[in-house]
Amino acid sequence: MKKSVEIVGLPIILISEGKEAGKVKSLVLNPDKGTVDFLTVEHEDWQVSVKAIPFKKVIGIGEYAVTIEADNAIIDLNEIPIANQLVNKRISIIDTRIMTRKGQLVGEAKEYFIDEENGNILGILVGMKEKQTVIKSDDVMTYGKDILVVNENVTFLSKEQELVQSAEAEEVKESAAPASEVNTAEEISRMPLDEIRMKQLQLLEGKRVLKDIRGKDGLLVAEKDTFLTEEQISKAQEQGPGTIVELSMNIEM
């Protein structure tokens, strides 16, 4: 999970050439999906046109840089009408007032949190009169330019770590075996984390991998055309929900 402020300003590195291609200027939000769809690029040679990177082309977002495969991942926004439309909507979240659907003022958005694996907005840091709190993106009904509208029964989390734990629990549950093979979705949602991991092991062990799977650190977790071992599955689980989900989606059933 990353704060938006942790991404803006990062150097953009081309993996294929080992060079910098600019810096992240801003995040382009899709208010209908609640996602970051593009990263705009700041480069001294690009003063007229606006360049951006589709989030799906981002290889990784680390502490020191954003990595992409090559410069062909950088596009001109004028060539992508939908991207241009999103930029022109100017949805920024930060400093936007937060209000319930019945008109009660909750506070002001001070920051937002992003899943660096897929660009999903996970939650919002809210400044209230005497404190700060965190709300989950599930409670946001509308991302507007001036107002964020949330549910009446919005849940307030006391700290960012609760948001992380909530997001990880949801992703782990989603990566568990299909209901027809092990349990129903409702049963899975009630499982302890250790039991979910065991179910993943039962589902995945011995299955053939259809492509190379790498963890957040870029290291190989499972090689294409190998048959999964308990050690490889445990390694994927340690890398986080994103890795185990990718592994689950790229096996021969």
DSSP 84-118: HHHHHHT---TT-EEEETTS-EEEEEEEEEE-TTT
180 and 230 inside one domain: yes
Which residues lie closer than 8 Å to 3 by C-beta, 6 or more apart?
A: 111, 112, 113, 114, 125
pLDDT score at 252:
78
If asked whether residues 210 and 242 sit together in one domain, one would say yes
pLDDT of 191 reads 52
Range(s) of the domain holding residue 36 = 2-89
Q: What percentage of the chain's residues is helix, strand, coil (to nearest 5)?
A: 30, 35, 35
- For the chain, 253 residues long, the average pLDDT of each consecutive 10-residue run is 93 91 92 93 68 92 92 84 81 93 92 93 89 90 93 81 58 48 43 70 86 84 89 85 76 74
Domain-located, residue 38: yes
Co-location of 143 and 192 in the same domain: no
Predicted local distance difference test score (pLDDT) of residue 50:
79
Q: Which sign does the torsion angle of CA 55, 58, 63, 64 carry?
A: negative
Domain C-terminal end among 89, 116, 147:
89
pLDDT of residue 93: 93
What is residue 100's predicted lDDT score, i.e. its pLDDT?
92
**Count of domains forming the chain:** 3
Whether 184 is covered by a domain: the verdict is yes
**170 located within any domain:** no
Structure confidence at residue 189 (pLDDT): 43
- Phi, psi (deg, nearest 5) at residue 156: -100, 125
Asked, for residue 114, whether it belongs to a domain, the answer is yes
Strands annotated E in 4-103 = 11-14, 19-30, 35-42, 51-54, 58-61, 66-68, 75-76, 97-100
Give pLDDT, residue 202.
81
CATH code where residue 69 lies: 3.90.50.10
Q: What is the CATH number of the domain that holds 108?
A: 2.30.30.240
Q: Is residue 240 part of a domain?
A: yes
| pTM for the full predicted model | 0.63
User: Nearest Cα to 109, choosing from 139, 88, 84?
Assistant: 139
Kindly give the pairing relationship between strand 11-14 and strand 66-68. parallel
